Structures are given as structure tokens and as C-alpha cells.
Amino acid sequence: MIRIGQGYDVHRLVEGRELWLCGEKIEFELGLLGHSDADVAIHALCDAMLGALALGDIGKHFPDSDPAYKGIDSKKLLREVWLLIDEKGYRLGNADITICAERPKLRPHIDTMRQRLAEVINTPVDNISVKATTTERLGFTGRMEGISAYAVVLLLRK
């Protein structure tokens, strides 16, 4: 039995916040705004995993009205989602994430991002793809008003 899921998320880029993507802190003059650490890529990945098993979305599991999640490291959310998937009897086939950001340049961080995610969900790094693209200065990502991320995952019955 195989199940597919997709996720999408956006966070606003602002001054005075840290930039976290795929569990890595990236040095940059702007950061993403959100109730948690606003790691847009992890949020898209969590939504893809939840979606694959029709378990709702990240907002249902970790409401942003709950002070427990204020400033939380999104790796902890991913870990919780992963435990839920595991409990339901599934394991990851593979995950493919695309981050849309005009800046900063993400290529130097891609391999550490993959490694980080693989550690959190206990899977070989070959199962995790992270890609980055600009949107050619078009739209909100192109104007650097925000960063968006897409994720697709395949889950396999254990």
C-alpha cells in the first residue's frame, strides 16, 4: 500500500527574525514571521505527511493559538508528525521539497538541510530531496515579501 501527500506553506519575510529552513538556521538580514520558528519548508513537509494519510493539517495538530507552540523549533513538530505516521503503520518512501526564495542563495545549505531532516525522521538521506528556486523576481517571493515551500511525500505501508 502506498500513499501520496502534498503540502504548501508561505511565511512573510520580515526584519528582526531568524531565518530557519529545513531545520537549519540561515544567516540572512531577514527572517520568517510566524507563531513557531516559521520554518516554511518543514511546515510544507509536515502537511504533505499528514495529507498522505488524510490526517488533517499542521494547523489542526499544532494550533497557532496554543502558547505551547510559540517560538517552537519546527523540527519538534516534524518529529511529532513522523511519530504519528509511524504509529499508523507507515514509513517514508521519499520526500521532495521545493523552496521558493529570491534570496538568500540556498544551494550551499541544501546538503545540510537534507541531512538534518533525515536525522529528525530517521531515514536515509537519499530519501530526502531539497530543491531551491527563485521565481525570477516575480510575485511575492520575487519581491522578497515572503518565502514559500512545496513538498510531496510518498509513504509506504510497513
Q: Closer to Mg ion at the Cβ: 43 or 75?
A: 43
**Cα atoms found within 13 Å of the Cα of residue 19, Cβ hemisphere only:** 19
Sign of CA dihedral 153, 35, 121, 27: positive
Q: Closer to Mg ion at the Cβ: 43 or 116?
A: 43
Residue of 111, 136, 88 lying closest to 22 (CA atoms) = 111
Q: Rule CB under 5 A: is residue 3 a binding residue for Mg ion?
A: no
Using Cβ positions, the residue closest to Mg ion within the complex turns out to be 43
Q: Checking phi first, is residue 71 left (phi over 0); if not, alpha (psi -120 to 50) or beta?
A: left
**What is the smallest separation between the CB atom of 70 and Mg ion, expressed in angstroms?**
14
> Going by C-beta distance under 8 Å and a sequence separation of 6 or more, which residues neighbour residue 132?
98, 99, 100, 101, 106, 107, 110
Q: Closer to Mg ion at the Cβ: 32 or 92?
A: 32
**What is the smallest separation between the CB atom of 77 and Mg ion, expressed in angstroms?**
9
Kindly report the backbone phi and psi dihedral angles of residue 155, in degrees, each rounded to the nearest multiple of 5, phi listed first: -110, 145
**What is the smallest separation between the CB atom of 43 and Mg ion, expressed in angstroms?**
4
Return the residues of window 4-63 that contact Mg ion according to CB under 5 A. Answer: 9, 43
Q: Closer to Mg ion at the Cβ: 8 or 93?
A: 8
Q: Closer to Mg ion at the Cβ: 9 or 24?
A: 9
Under DSSP, the state recorded for 69 is: G
What are the cell numbers at 4? 501520496
Q: Rule CB under 5 A: is residue 75 a binding residue for Mg ion?
A: no
Coil/strand/helix, residue 104: coil
**What is the smallest separation between the CB atom of 59 and Mg ion, expressed in angstroms?**
8
**What is the smallest separation between the CB atom of 10 and Mg ion, expressed in angstroms?**
7
Binding residues for Mg ion, rule: CB under 5 A, are: 9, 43
